[in-house]
Amino acid sequence: MIQPHSSSALNGLYVDDADARTALREEAQTLPTLLLNSPAAANAVMLGGGYFNPLSGFMDKADALSVAQNLHTRSGLFWPIPILNLTSAEEQVQPGTRVALCDPNVEGMPVLAVQEVESVELLTDKEIAQVLENVYRTTDPQHPGVATFTALGRQVVAGPVQVLNYSYFETDFPATFRTAGQIRNQIKSHGWETVVAFQTRNPMHRAHEELCKMARDTLAADGILIHMLLGKLKPGDIPADVRDAAIRKMANVYFPKNSVMTAGYGFDMLYAGPREAVLHAIFRQNAGCTHLIVGRDHAGVGAYYRPFDAQTIFDEEVPPGALAIQIFRADHTAYSKKLQRVVMMRDAPDHDSNDFVLLSGTRVREMLAAGETLPVEFARPEVARILMDYYRENKPFS
């Protein structure tokens, strides 16, 4: 099986031993507390689940700036996006102490992890702009990732963490949430060697389904990991439980048995385009996948990135040998009326836009909200029904 990123073994920071976990919970009751924001809580979950292997905790300012500017920590570890515990400067956190990190996303704000605070530093306006320009390629406050990052505070609380639980992800999505280690074990139990991962923050329509099958056939893959983000998205996006139900229905009905794994991970969407695509590759390498599908506008939003920036970054900025996982490069995929099947648009040079069944996201939402049936060439009926029920109940366009 493919090795984890930059290590021979996966280093999840969840405290596996029950006695040690109990002792840590008891210690946490005696420690000063720090209420995390949602992105920092998601970072802790990802550290616990091994997706951020081989990191041992939250980065300090120097590593964060080095990663933003050079895609490497000061020690030389290849990494695309700073992993931070950012707080407001009003929070009284002292270097050299241990703090209990409390979960903002669970009622009662229970302790999520314990952090050993190695340093507490402030980001300047110039340093914040450097992070934004390098990671998001914009400082536009309308960009959802920029808006989130700039609202988190500027105090960097760095140091290793011990994770006690997986927040709401494990309880709200017991059939779907999986750590990187759990996915590796499942891949091993299947006897799969070549595994292609598909990243999604949206329900999967016909084009997504067929893209996974194209990648499987092209790579002669043993299996597919459909890996959905379960954390927070921007306003107006479809909630995780609805996406989960729609994706599971599609996978169960339209993929051969034992050919696909459906799982989710506990992370908030960054909308960082190319840099986030590289982070997605690290997630999947740590989970045991050999390939990641990277398509048009991967992890993008609006018009902040060019359509294939998330592919070219692997050629232009990822050093040779930095990652073991390989990229399957996909074009926009749609149903061809001429050929009566789903194709990558680059493979149909004799087509124009009228030859494809193309619906914008806005048009799809409008149709669902109005109770209109989506074309079967665009969405499987079982998937469309789940989405239609959600939009009818929530009336987001009313």
Question: Catalytic amino acids?
Answer: 201-202
Residue 353 burial by Cβ neighbours in a 10 Å radius (0-12, 13-18, 19+): exposed
| Alpha helix (H) residue ranges in the chain | 18-28, 38-48, 61-70, 125-131, 144-150, 167-172, 180-190, 206-219, 240-254, 273-286, 309-316, 361-369, 381-394
Sign of the torsion formed by the C-alpha atoms of 21, 24, 29 and 31? negative
Chain centroid to Cα 127, Å, comes to: 25
CA 64, CA 9: separation in Å to the nearest integer? Answer: 24
Query: Which tokens go with 41?
Result: 């809580």
Q: Which of 316, 346, 317 is nearest to 329 (CA)?
A: 346
